Structure 1
Amino acid sequence: MISKRSRPRPYSSGGFTLIELLVVIAIIAILAGMLLPALSRAKSKAQGVVCASNLKQMQLSWNLYLDDNGDKVPPNENPRQGTWVRGWLDNAVAVTDNTNVVHLRNSLLWKYHETLGIWRCPSDRSVSIHRGVTYPRVRSISMNAWLNRLDPPSSLLMPYRVIERLSQMTDPSPSKTWILMDEREDRINNGYFYVDMTGLKEKNPALYQLADMPASYHGGSGSISFADGHVELKKWLDPRTKPPLLKGKNLGLIGATPNNPDVAWLQERTTGAREE
């Protein structure tokens, strides 16, 4: 009896066809496009948490200094008493202060934390190149310029209070008076952050000015601490407060910024009217 031969099965390598491979690649590309922004936001949020924690530790150091010095706040570019931290940073020139940790170790607040890492926001990517070697800059925080800062004779003529003691924080109160802030890498230089109070007494927002500029590394927000010890991630609202960062350059003075709600927010939390 003659048996029927089985028909040969078509050859298969067990791999993907070109079309199947292209479909898989397209799906991966779509998923990556969906996931990468979410991962970027998650990273920014995590860095914001670390940034706020750093500032919280520095604010605690500030409060401990007050406890040890009879309610007196640390001097801030005060010619008679020195300053809370020395050094002048420059985003355009590789000055030695950009990487000089000695200034941080000599800070009046150093003994209360003794940690270099809390002086810098993790989202601040600014660097300084010395002899061909790239180093991260050492500091991204500044202190409220209206705290124990005397710049005679100009400050004596100002209608606003230069705060020397915690007890002078009445309006605004300690919970409403900001102390430390992350400052933009292309604007930070010395240890203080100056808020121009022009327009507050006059009740005229058209006169608002921006001098120093806050950082906005965390989705348009920046860390800021207050005299009672709490820290906020402040969302800056006006585009003029958060222009694009200048890599390797210094941001010039912004100046007039009429009706800027961020200026109003800062003025209300910086200092109060000088007592007559």
Structure 2
Amino acid sequence: MNYKIKYINDVNITRFTLVELLVTISVIALLAALMLPALSKAREKSKGAFCESNLKQLNAANLLYVLDYGYYMPCYGSEITGPGSSVGKLWIGYRSAPAGTPGNIDMHGGFVFDICGNWKIMTCPSWNVSGGAPDKITDGHGYGYNVIGIGSMAYITGSAYKSGSGMKVEMVKKPSSVVLFGDVTATTVPGEIRPYSFFYPKYTISSSGMSVNSRGDNAHFRHAGAASVGWADGHVSRERPSRLNNNFVGSAHWVGNFGPPNNSLFEPWRWTGAGAVY
């Protein structure tokens, strides 16, 4: 039987031309570019879910605090007695130096940490932390606490200062409609967003009624145009803006608020005193 032996030199080898190689690389680059937005959205969606998990844990920590401390909500800052008195224990940590001092808040020393023992749940995963120890902060890590309606006695005394405690839980008449925590940023720094730990409605409270709060409407819609919000009954939702601030951070950074343009989602009961705006 005769066999035909084929040598390696007889094999036809097809090679890429330079043009074909460049076309292939271009197609791969194009596909990668098309996939990047989808990957970015998936990553942000994952961060949003992580954020909601954090808020659920913060809500639970607040409930445990209520059970341990005579049915009072945690105070936003029990030792803050006025604008110039900013040193002391806050909900988010212990502030050892005047507000704005870099790294002045130790997140291991606040009312919430006393209950949960985990400072990381007070950090939004979509908030970029830069410089210094992550648990030694200047103002916040992305979440704000409802100062006026939950974290103080402002609706009783006319001021958030010198409260000593938050509202008593029985005073919160409709907890499913009262904000507890949420994604926030500072609104008073020109041209940029900065961390903050307090969540303010449109109006501030005083003994004479209401006035527009310069720090108010500071919800930060950082999760693909939505803000994660924890409510006083324990549930968490993602809220879309009903309005954006008309200052230097509003439309540029998606800062504003959700719901009606008043304090109704931040107050323990519907305010009907002097200066009420509904």
User: What TM-score do the two structures reach when normalised by structure 2?
Assistant: 0.68
SS in 1 for 2:239: strand
Provide the residue aligned with 2:219 in structure 1. Answer: 214
Aligned to 1:183: 184
Equivalent of residue 84 in structure 1, options 67, 79, 91: 91
Which of 219, 222, 232 is the matching residue for 1:227? Answer: 232
Distance 1:264 1:90 in 2: 34
DSSP-derived class of the 2:70 partner: coil
Equivalent residue for 1:5? none
Percent same amino acid among aligned pairs? 22
Could you tell me which residue of structure 1 aligns to residue 4 of structure 2?
A: none
Do the aligned partners of 1:142 and 1:182 also contact (CA within 8 Å) in 2? yes
Q: Look up the SS of the partner of 1:128 in the other structure.
A: coil
Residue aligning to 1:192: 198
1:141 aligns with 2:143: yes
Q: Displacement, 1:118?
A: 0.8
Aligned 8 A contact 1:78 1:151 in 2: no
Hey, what does 2:113 align to over in structure 1?
110
1:12 positional shift: 6.1
Tell me which residue corresponds to 1:273.
271
- Alpha-carbon distance in 1 for matches of 2:58, 2:40: 27
In the aligned structure 2, how far is the partner of 1:223 from the partner of 1:76?
19
Contact 1:94 1:128 in 2 (8 A): no
User: In the aligned structure 1, how far is the partner of 2:159 from the partner of 2:110?
Assistant: 26
| CA positional deviation for 1:242 | 4.5
CA gap of 1:225–1:19, structure 2 versus 1, over 3 A, is: same
> What secondary structure, in the 3-state scheme, does the structure 2 residue paired with 1:143 have?
strand
Give 1:152 shift: 11
Distance 1:155 1:18 in 2: 77
Residue 18 of structure 1 is matched in structure 2 by: 18
Note if contact 2:89-2:111 (Cα within 8 Å) is conserved in structure 1.
no
Provide Cα deviations, 1:221-271, integer angstroms capped at 9, x if missing partner: 12110111111121224443743359xxxxxxx9xxxxx873626733111
Equivalent pairs counted in the alignment come to: 233
Residue 29 to residue 48, structure 1, CA distance change in 2 (3 Å): same
2:244/2:257 contact within 8 Å kept? no
Scaled by the length of structure 1, what TM-score is found?
0.69
Letter in 1 for 2:74: P
SS in structure 2 opposite 1:232?
Answer: strand
Cα deviation digits, residues 94-129 of structure 1 (max 9, x gap): 7122xx5xx322212223321121111111113135
CA-based RMSD of the aligned residues comes to 4.0
Gap change, CA 1:187 and 1:194, over 3 Å in 2: farther
What residue in structure 1 maps to residue 38 of structure 2?
A: 38
- Structure 1 pair 29/238, CA: closer, same or farther in 2 (3 Å)? farther
**Alpha-carbon deviation of 1:156?**
5.4
Alignment correspondent of 2:6: none
**Structure 1: unaligned runs, 5 residues or longer:** 1-8, 199-206, 247-253, 255-259
Aligned letter for 1:142?
G
1:236/1:242 contact within 8 Å kept: no
Distance 1:166 1:124, change over 3 A: same
Q: Structure 1 60/13 Cα, relative in aligned 2: closer, same or farther at 3 Å?
A: same
CA contact (8 A) 1:52 1:231 kept: yes
Which of these residues, 129, 139, 145, is aligned with residue 126 of structure 1? 129
Answer whether contact 1:127 1:135 (CA < 8 A) is retained: no
Q: Show the counterpart of 1:244.
A: 252
Alpha-carbon distance in structure 1 between the residues aligned to 2:260 and 2:182: 16
More helix by share: 1
Task: Kindly indicate whether structure 1 or structure 2 has the higher relative contact order, using CA contacts under 8 Å at least 6 residues apart.
Answer: 1
- CA 1:236–1:136 in structure 2 vs 1: closer, same or farther (change >3 Å)? farther
Shift of 1:23: 2.1
